[in-house]
C-alpha cells in the first residue's frame, strides 16, 4: 500500500491547483511534526502532534487536557530547545483535540460448567425455603439454559 504523501507527489496531481495548496499544507504539517518530535519529551510527543509553524508560533494538538497542561508547563524549556536547534519559534500554542474512543467490546458471557450447575442445584435443595436457596436455584436454572 502506498503512503498518502507519495500519492500527492504524482505529477498529474501536482498540476491540479486545488491539490497544490493541500500538498503545501501537508508539507508544512510534516515539517512542524518533525520539529516537535525532535524537541518534545518522548512521553509528551506520543500523545500530541504539531500541525503548523506560522508567524514564529508552533501550534500543537494534545490528545487530552492532562497532556496539554504538561506541555504548557514545559513551554519555556521547549522554546530554549527550539532556539538551540535554530528554529525561529517564539511561542507554542497548545490546543486539545480529543480523539474518539473505540467502541467497547461486548463482554463475554460466562457460563457455568455442568458440574458447577449440578453442585448449585444440590446446595439449593439443601437450602430450600431460604432467600439464599431461592437465588441459588434461580442461578442453577440459568446455568442449564
Q: What is the pLDDT of residue 143?
A: 77
**Percentage of residues in the chain having pLDDT higher than 90:** 19
Residue 104 inside a domain? The answer is no
Q: How confident is the model at residue 9 (pLDDT cuts 50, 70, 90)?
A: low
- Residue 62 near residue 92, CB atoms below 8 Å: no
pLDDT in the model for residue 1: 42
Q: Which domain holds residue 118?
A: 114-144
Q: What's the confidence (pLDDT) of residue 32?
A: 86
Q: Give the model's pLDDT for residue 15.
A: 65
The reply to whether 63 and 91 lie within a common domain is yes
- 89 and 22 in a single domain? The answer is yes
Q: How far apart (Å, rounded) are the C-alpha atoms in residues 59 and 124?
A: 66
- Report the domain count for the chain: 2
**65 and 16 in one domain?**
yes
CA distance 22 to 28: 10
The answer to whether the beta carbons of residues 57 and 38 sit under 8 Å apart is no
CA distances from 64 to 70, 97, 128 (A): 10, 7, 54
Mean pLDDT, residues 12-23 taken together: 68
> Rounded to two decimals, what is the model's pTM?
0.57
Amino acid at each position: 500500500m502506498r503512503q498518502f504523501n507519495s500519492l500527492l507527489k504524482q505529477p498529474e496531481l501536482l498540476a491540479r491547483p486545488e491539490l497544490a495548496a493541500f500538498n503545501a499544507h501537508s508539507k508544512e504539517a510534516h515539517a512542524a511534526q518533525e520539529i516537535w518530535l525532535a524537541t518534545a519529551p518522548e512521553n509528551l510527543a506520543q500523545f500530541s502532534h504539531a500541525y503548523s509553524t506560522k508567524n514564529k508560533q508552533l501550534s500543537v494538538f494534545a490528545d487530552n487536557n492532562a497532556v496539554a497542561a504538561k506541555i504548557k508547563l514545559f513551554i519555556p524549556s521547549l522554546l530554549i530547545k527550539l532556539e538551540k536547534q535554530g528554529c525561529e519559534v517564539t511561542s507554542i500554542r497548545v490546543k486539545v483535540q480529543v480523539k474518539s474512543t473505540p467502541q467497547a467490546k461486548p463482554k463475554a458471557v460466562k457460563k457455568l460448567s455442568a458440574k458447577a450447575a449440578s453442585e448449585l442445584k444440590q446446595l439449593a435443595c439443601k437450602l430450600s425455603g431460604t432467600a439464599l436457596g431461592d437465588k441459588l436455584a434461580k442461578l442453577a436454572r440459568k446455568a442449564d439454559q
